[in-house]
Amino acid sequence: MEAVLAHLRGAIERGEYAIGDKLPSEAELCRTLEVSRPVLREALRALQTMGLTVAKTGKGTFVIANTVEDPTFGDYAASHLLEVRRHVEVPVAGYAALRRTPEDLDHLTHLLDRMERETDTTAWVAMDTVFHLALAEAAQNPVFRRVIEEIRDALARQSAFLNELGGRREKSNREHRAIVEALIDGSEHDAEQAMSHHLDRVDTTLTEIVRPTRTDIPTKGSPDA
């Protein structure tokens, strides 16, 4: 899927598909690129998330931009989502370290154990959002949970995007483990630091996907073009 995405993204950025152009049909792209329809559809969804294309029901996929500015996850731009997460989830982790109950720790530890064993991305993403909701619960403030509930769909979309294109699952598991260990220790400082590090890594991975080095994208005349 990453190879298909890189190919299509490169073609758009080079102007082979100009703004306003319609991409070839799914059947044609599958035939040309020699990939299955599910793989192609994942790549097309990623192009939409990046803001390069839009799908029009019954008409096809059209190019609406030739550079990636700010991916959108559900109703929220990535930059807005991360800004809010830093102001909400970092203090949530700190409060959770101070207020968590034995039941909260059992729930988080069990959930993390399941996530570390899970190999299916869709199932892992579902548990990832539950993990962040559980942290908000442990902070013992219903407003925090309400905020996380509001952005839950966007978090899931972002998580899936980062896992499919950035291989974030194992790294996220380690970062989540550090957060839970800080909660077990009851360390507000360590919990806030662990969550801050987690969000920094999310930001870095997103940036690497959105603005890769030029060698990541095939160019005309190259063997991959």
Averaged pLDDT of the chain: 89
Check for a shared fold between 2-69 and 72-210. Answer: no
Residue 222 has a pLDDT of 41
pLDDT tens by residue, 170-180: 999 999 999 99
Distances 191 to 59, 89, 149, 222 between C-alpha atoms, Å: 49, 10, 21, 47
pLDDT tens by residue, 156-203: 989 988 887 778 899 999 999 999 999 999 999 999 999 999 999 999
- Whether residue 116 is predicted with pLDDT greater than 70 in this model: the reply is yes
Mean pLDDT for 46-69 is: 87
Q: Structural domain boundaries of the chain?
A: 2-69, 72-210
Percent of the chain with pLDDT over 70: 94
Percent of the chain with pLDDT over 90: 64
- Rounded to the nearest 5 degrees, what angle is found at the Cα of 74, between the Cα atoms of 77 and 121? 110
pLDDT tens by residue, 9-45: 889 989 999 999 999 999 999 999 999 999 999 889 8
Residue 210 has a pLDDT of 81
pLDDT tens by residue, 93-109: 999 999 999 999 999 99
Record: fold of 72-210: Four Helix Bundle (Hemerythrin (Met), subunit A) (1.20.120)
Nearest to 12 by CA among 3, 22, 2: 22
Record: fold of 2-69: Arc Repressor Mutant, subunit A (1.10.10)
